[in-house]
Structure 1
Amino acid sequence: MSDFLGAGWSTYIALVTLVGIFWCIWLLFSVRKVKAVLRPDGEVADTGHVWDGDLRELNNPLPRWWMWMFLISCIFALVYLALYPGLGSYPGLLGYSTDGALMSSMTTANDELKPVYAKYVKMDIVDVAADPKAREMGQRLFLNSCAQCHGSDAGGGKGFPNLTDSDWLYGGSPENIKTTITNGRGGVMPPFGAVLNAGQVQDVANYVRSLSGLPADDLKAARGADVFKANCVACHGPDAKGNIALGSPNLTDKTWLYGASEATITETVTKGRTAMMPAQDKVLSPEKIQLLTAYVWGLSNNKPVQAK
């Protein structure tokens, strides 16, 4: 569809729309002057189409009321297209857009709900997470905004982190979680297919598997350790425990975002991975982000907390 967003297509769509409307108006007035054709016996001539033996299609001009309704419809279409978007990329005189209407309705809703959320904004995230009503509101926000990727149970899936465990790519503190929700994250694992040969990729894949106690070829893993030191420590660290500042995962635990098989790790090393957590600061108000942060933090810190 991106091929149809250029200026040329916009002009084409606008011209086709306007020509179609004006052609309808011309057609209306061109047949307006046609008078009924009478047969010698004085009856209106028909078109020659007859159904059920005696139902004839007459050749009468259009009724005047129908012509006025048709003309009014065409005029309405022209006025509408002048005021609202519809002619290609022309925004309309009123500047209306569905995106703008959505943002306006969200802003209005956020303003109306501010008093409900107000008391939680000034509270510590841990205390908010301990409040039953706050958790209920946070869960609803999660289901509306986050469940599409992380699942309704927040258990995640291939390429989408599990939010109920203690493994965090960018840190699991309330502050880090809030930053992630607010600003989003963009994770990139660069491809090494052009840097390492197939043997080196297999070696480092076996080494990475051995780091978390998975079955691995000892000889390949030994060679893979040198490959890892030369190419991977910059992000994952010399101890392979990752770096929350970069979002690079800990390779020594048993948590795998894309899978732990040798084939999957080989694919990751060869082709790389790209992940995106969309920013929510344009979608959710600060009050909602506070509640959502507390709910997400509480998923992996669900021991009873005494509210102050």
Structure 2
Amino acid sequence: MSSFWSAWIIGLTVISLVLLCWLLFGTRKIPVDKDKDTTGHVYDGIEEYDNPMPSWWINMFVISIVFGVFYLLFYPGLGNFKGLLNWTSASEWEADVVEAKSKAESFYVAYANTPIPALAEDATAMRVGKRIFSNNCATCHMVDGSGAKGYPNLTDDDWLYGGSPEQIEATLVNGRVAAMPAWESALSVAELDNLTRYVKSLSQPAEAGENAASRAMQGAEQKYLAMCSACHGESGEGNIAFGAPALNDDTWLYGGREVEIRHSIAKGRRGVMPAQAEILGEQKIHLLTAYVYQLSRQ
């Protein structure tokens, strides 16, 4: 704050206090016409009395002024004057943060060496894990872990990179980057349509059997084996090494309708899971790993 505005605030505050004192003590002994006990104002049959202010009200007024003077002496309120205590809201906040971190640290340390499966059975630890999840993961994976479209469902047993405690922790610590190449330029419209139907049929065994003998499906199968099987597997079982989703179940990351599958094949997909190591730290990730681990086991 500039010196001018600091002086302006100090002057305005001091003048206001002085005027309040004058208003109180300068008008306290104004003579009152004892023959008139009302001001003459009447509204709806109600008359306004002209009684002096009660002593308790005056005393409270005086106390508030005295309090204000001492407050401005000890705490910031007069421009750039920081007060005799040199108190700031920032310093109090920093002290509160240090205290909160100290308490949290002692809590997390108690669980640091607990194995994930055992930790997943601890109700207190899971309550904290749920809060960590809600604050950091729910935007993409939803509050209940069911996942928004394009983000994995954590409540089922279908894991892109594996669902063991070690694999989940690795995902949280390092993050994940998945890339599905676009095949639109390498396929004709008919080939793209046939490949879409073939991928769709992988999750529908009955339909796959009916269509297997058709020449179109045989051609689509060859395209699949040549272009897709390296990541998704020959029968669509997926590959956790690449984070390639299984195509032979009914779990679809980006939607299982033909139009959605076609878009994935034609335009490709790119998924990013941000690394949490620097955001949460080792101890919070340990609890969060246990919480995510137990989501699919409820």
**Could you report, residue by residue, the CA deviation over 1:239-279 in whole angstroms, capped at 9, with x for unpaired residues?**
22111010000111110011111111111000000111111
- Provide the rounded CA distance (Å) in 2 between the counterparts of 1:213 and 1:201: 19
- Provide the rounded CA distance (Å) in 2 between the counterparts of 1:107 and 1:223: 65
Whether 2:264 is the aligned partner of 1:273: answer no
Whether 2:104 is the aligned partner of 1:118: answer no
1:161 Cα deviation from its structure 2 partner: 0.8
- Provide the rounded CA distance (Å) in 1 between the counterparts of 2:125 and 2:265: 42
Change (3 A) 1:199 1:182: same
Change (3 A) 1:137 1:206: same
Whether 2:147 is the aligned partner of 1:156: answer yes
Q: Is the 8 A contact 1:207 1:222 kept in 2?
A: no
Q: Which amino acid aligns with 2:163?
A: G
Partner residue in 2 for 1:209: 200
Partner residue in 2 for 1:147: 138
- Provide the rounded CA distance (Å) in 1 between the counterparts of 2:242 and 2:102: 35
Q: CA RMSD in A?
A: 2.8
Q: Can you give the 5+ residue segments of structure 2 that lack an aligned partner in the other structure? A: 3-79, 81-95
Partner residue in 1 for 2:42: none
- Provide the rounded CA distance (Å) in 2 between the counterparts of 1:107 and 1:193: 55
Q: Secondary structure at the match of 1:274?
A: strand
Q: Is the 8 A contact 1:205 1:265 kept in 2?
A: yes
Whether 2:164 is the aligned partner of 1:168: answer no
Change (3 A) 1:107 1:157: farther
- Provide the rounded CA distance (Å) in 1 between the counterparts of 2:173 and 2:235: 30
Q: Is the 8 A contact 2:202 2:235 kept in 1?
A: no
- Provide the rounded CA distance (Å) in 2 between the counterparts of 1:254 and 1:222: 22
Q: Is the 8 A contact 2:160 2:240 kept in 1?
A: yes
Q: Can you give the 5+ residue segments of structure 1 that lack an aligned partner in the other structure? A: 1-20, 22-75, 77-104, 303-308
Q: Secondary structure at the match of 2:279?
A: coil
1:110 Cα deviation from its structure 2 partner: 4.6
- Provide the rounded CA distance (Å) in 1 between the counterparts of 2:162 and 2:272: 16
Determine which of 127, 140, 151 is the counterpart of 1:136.
Answer: 127
Change (3 A) 1:111 1:263: same
1:109 Cα deviation from its structure 2 partner: 5.3
Determine which of 286, 289, 294 is the counterpart of 2:290.
Answer: 294
**Could you report, residue by residue, the CA deviation over 1:47-73 in whole angstroms, capped at 9, with x for unpaired residues?**
xxxxxxxxxxxxxxxxxxxxxxxxxxx
**Could you report, residue by residue, the CA deviation over 1:92-137 in whole angstroms, capped at 9, with x for unpaired residues?**
xxxxxxxxxxxxx989855541110112110100000000001100
- Provide the rounded CA distance (Å) in 2 between the counterparts of 1:297 and 1:115: 23
Query: What is the number of equivalent residue pairs in this alignment?
Result: 206
Q: Is the 8 A contact 2:112 2:283 kept in 1?
A: yes
Q: Is the 8 A contact 1:206 1:262 kept in 2?
A: yes
Q: Percent identity?
A: 43
Q: How does 1:1-308 map to 2 (within 5 A)?
A: 110-213=101-204, 218=211, 219=214, 220-302=216-298
- Provide the rounded CA distance (Å) in 1 between the counterparts of 2:267 and 2:245: 17
TM-score normalised over the length of structure 2: 0.64
Q: Secondary structure at the match of 1:136?
A: helix
Change (3 A) 1:252 1:239: same
Larger radius of gyration: 2
- Provide the rounded CA distance (Å) in 1 between the counterparts of 2:99 and 2:139: 25
- Provide the rounded CA distance (Å) in 1 between the counterparts of 2:195 and 2:291: 38
- Provide the rounded CA distance (Å) in 1 between the counterparts of 2:240 and 2:196: 22
- Provide the rounded CA distance (Å) in 1 between the counterparts of 2:266 and 2:288: 36
Q: Is the 8 A contact 1:210 1:221 kept in 2?
A: no
Structure 1 window deviating more from structure 2 (126-135 vs 200-209): it is: 200-209
- Provide the rounded CA distance (Å) in 2 between the counterparts of 1:201 and 1:111: 58
